[in-house]
Structure 1
């Protein structure tokens, strides 16, 4: 049983599609902000119609404690446990240098990118603890590394991802007895709506959402508490990132 947030576009949608197409036993709970807004022709809605009970759409706004608690209850009622959470939902808006970054941008990024995964963990923890080897994967960013600072004006985004890295590390440290593996993953520099219009360094390799999803799922599949717990990893490069 897997839960993926931010599932209606970009990497989240690619994760859901890959799971359904290549893992016949997977049952997926896909979080979207407004289920009522999905209609026939939307890729996620079409996948739900095609795969039936294997894909469960759940209402999940990143900053809603109530939504996260309700999703946890739904998963327990329907599946009895939750093996994997991929906390993918996030925002990257504005590319201001530190001198002029609006404080409102900082707050918005922190609310969604840092507190969102914490809220999600708190809401789904009891379902995760029913699994023998639960995994909580936070989609972070290489831009959050303090050891290899990117030369990009992404202060709000990068700072919020530094924060969520700490969330992942704390989850992992505090839940050894549940054998939970929590870790932060860099998904690569991905060609999505969120990255559109942003000028990346020519040193960066741009990948598709499908390529990113494949690398993420490969890492998550092989992850254990001893091999992955508490780590910050680049999924496309299969290499550890300095904190």
Structure 2
């Protein structure tokens, strides 16, 4: 794979960190964003001008445009744009606060949309590129107690799926990454949870209350997942969806089969509502 330049949101931890470390070690350039100053200082010290870093909260749309424009101006070309910044929010819909709902959708959905929109004029001008969206198996399958997290992931998958068709004429390709559980700090660092309501004790929605239990490690290896994401960027045509983790594959295939099993038998009743002369 040639030496490329990547733009990645949220490089201080998780997949963003793993991607950045592997890319820099392989000789690529990375423009990365962080929420707080100094959180990528060790990487900057080790890789010098091959790492360009800017502070960014993706819920700040004017700042998103400023940072994306700045990265393209500073580096000349960006081959791959990775929407990685995001976090988990667990709790029954009724348990969540209005602020929690607004914030998670502004980050996981609107923030990713605005990063992609800011990058598109640059990608078109340079004749192509790749957009990689970090989603989750939760963008196709659901669990009780995670309704608002799923809302953001299903929303961004719908956006990216349609965007892939819009930008294909410009040589821009899109990949949606659907990892299963991974041994990052997702469940132990940035994860937010609702204040439990006793009415939901013992119900399916309460299953997410133990998400932060370190005694239940996730199955996926983030380093291996990052390597698969990097490898996918050199594949043409780009895979629209990249499933990572046996748990993700299991959840996704089960959910899709169940959906088809419910929809396919309705062909007759669906057609019965068509307009007839």
TM-score, scaled relative to structure 2: 0.73
Q: Any residues of structure 2 matched to 1:1-243 within 5 Å, and which?
A: 1-22=5-26, 24=27, 26-34=28-36, 37-38=37-38, 42=39, 44-93=40-89, 95-145=90-140, 148-150=141-143, 152-196=144-188, 198=211, 206-222=219-235, 224=236, 226-228=237-239, 231-236=240-245, 241=252
Q: Give the Å deviation of 1:84.
A: 0.4
**In 1, are the aligned partners of 2:175 and 2:238 still within 8 Å (CA)?**
no
**What is the CA deviation profile of residues 129-157 of structure 1, one whole-angstrom value per residue up to 9, with x for unaligned ones?**
24444111110010121xx434x421111
Note the C-alpha offset of 1:99: 4.4
Counterparts of 1:17 and 1:116, CA distance in 2: 24
Tell me the TM-score normalized by structure 1: 0.82
Gaps of 5+ in 1: none
| Secondary structure in 2 matching 1:81 | coil
Partner Cα distance (2:130, 2:224) in 1: 21
Tell me how large the CA RMSD over aligned residues is.
Answer: 2.7
Shift of 1:204: 9.3
Is the helix fraction higher in 1 or 2?
A: 2
CA positional deviation for 1:188: 2.7
* Conserved 8 A contact 1:28-1:54: yes
Ranges in structure 2 where 5+ consecutive residues have no aligned partner: 189-209, 257-277
SS at match of 2:11: coil
